[in-house]
């Protein structure tokens, strides 16, 4: 089993739609969690950290479920500019990060 | 703003050459990483370092080595480049349990 698993997509949605991505992780001792965004041929950039209590940043909401070992990202009112690959990232401890393979989102007019 | 700088955006090297990829960060982070990214495989960890002169193997260290002589600089070395090392290489740095910051990536082609 992979340490971090994501549905690769692509998710094709129209502008204005709500879309959700899930990610599962295998190490129950994992300490911190993140969502990164990666545009084509660019480096990954932090979208948001994920906290146990859940957190929201504008149209983006991230949730963590430790019991079921998954994290989620919800995007409301999708924009064309949201088209990108979204990477689920887990810190299992040991001072390193483990990346999922990414979920590709395509938002169309 | 945190800045992680990789020495080259694009490199073309011949099979068998020794290749150096350099990475410098300006935020005094303890931890630095080298990943490679390939289509369908995501980011895979090659090596990481949590302190000067310290290094740890990641998931795919074969064919690579690293050097960390100064806290701000982490170098990836391909001892004898091969065509299967053609990839995007990404350097990252982070402090304890915080997010990682990435360099802009080096797209290496080995011919």
**Measured between beta carbons, which residues in chain A are less than 8 angstroms from residue B103?**
43
Provide the Cα torsion B25, A94, B37, B60; round to 10°.
Answer: 120
The whole-angstrom separation of Cα A10 and Cα A28 is 28
**Measured between beta carbons, which residues in chain A are less than 8 angstroms from residue B55?**
none
- The share of chain B scoring above pLDDT 70, in percent, equals 97
The whole-angstrom separation of Cα A42 and Cα A24 is 25
Region B36-46: mean pLDDT is: 91
Region B43-61: mean pLDDT is: 93
- Contact (CB, 8 A) for B82 and B67: no
Region A55-66: mean pLDDT is: 95
Region B59-74: mean pLDDT is: 96
Chain B residue with minimum CA distance to A48: B99
Nearest to A43 by CA among B23, B102, B1: B102
The angle subtended at Cα A11 by Cα A81 and Cα A17, nearest 5°, is 60
pLDDT at A1 over 80: no
Q: Which residues contact A64 (CB under 8 A, 6 or more apart)?
A: A33, A50, A51, A52, A54, A71
**Measured between beta carbons, which residues in chain A are less than 8 angstroms from residue B31?**
95-96
Predicted pLDDT at A92: 83
**Measured between beta carbons, which residues in chain B are less than 8 angstroms from residue A45?**
102
pLDDT tens digits, residue range A62-99?
Answer: 999 999 999 999 999 999 999 999 999 998 876 778 89
Task: Collect all residues from B whose CB is shorter than 8 A from any CB in A.
Answer: 30-31, 33, 35, 40-43, 45, 48, 50, 56, 58, 90, 92, 94, 96-105
Band of residue A31 on the pLDDT scale cut at 50, 70, 90:
confident
Predicted pLDDT at A20: 96
pLDDT at A21 over 90: yes
Band of residue B96 on the pLDDT scale cut at 50, 70, 90:
confident
The whole-angstrom separation of Cα A68 and Cα B12 is 45
Q: Taking the CB of residue B55, how many other CB atoms lie within 10 A of it?
A: 18
Predicted pLDDT at B97: 66
Q: Say which of A8, A34, A100 has its CB closest to residue B99.
A: A34
Predicted pLDDT at B65: 97
The rounded mean pLDDT for chain B is 94
Q: Cβ of B90 and A98 within 8 Å?
A: no
């Amino acid at each position: 089993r992979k340490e971090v698993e994501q549905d690769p997509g692509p998710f094709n949605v129209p502008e204005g739609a709500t879309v959700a991505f899930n990610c599962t992780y295998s190490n129950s001792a994992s300490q911190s969690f993140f969502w990164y965004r990666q545009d084509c041929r660019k480096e990954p950039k932090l979208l948001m950290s994920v906290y146990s209590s859940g957190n929201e940043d504008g149209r983006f909401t991230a949730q963590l479920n430790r019991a079921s070992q998954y994290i989620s990202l919800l995007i409301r009112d999708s924009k064309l500019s949201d088209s990108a690959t979204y990477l689920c990232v887990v810190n299992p401890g040991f001072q390193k990060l483990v990346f999922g393979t990414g979920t590709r989102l395509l938002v169309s007019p | 703003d945190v800045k992680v700088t990789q020495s080259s955006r694009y490199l073309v090297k011949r099979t068998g050459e020794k290749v150096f990829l350099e990475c410098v960060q300006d935020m005094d982070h303890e931890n630095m990483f080298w990943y490679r990214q390939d289509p369908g495989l995501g980011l895979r960890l090659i090596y990481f370092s949590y302190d000067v002169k310290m290094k740890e193997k990641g998931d795919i260290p074969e064919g690579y080595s690293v050097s960390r002589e100064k806290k701000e600089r982490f170098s990836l070395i391909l001892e004898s480049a091969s065509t299967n090392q053609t990839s995007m290489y990404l350097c990252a740095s982070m402090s304890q349990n915080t997010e990682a910051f990435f360099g802009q990536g080096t797209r290496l082609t080995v011919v």
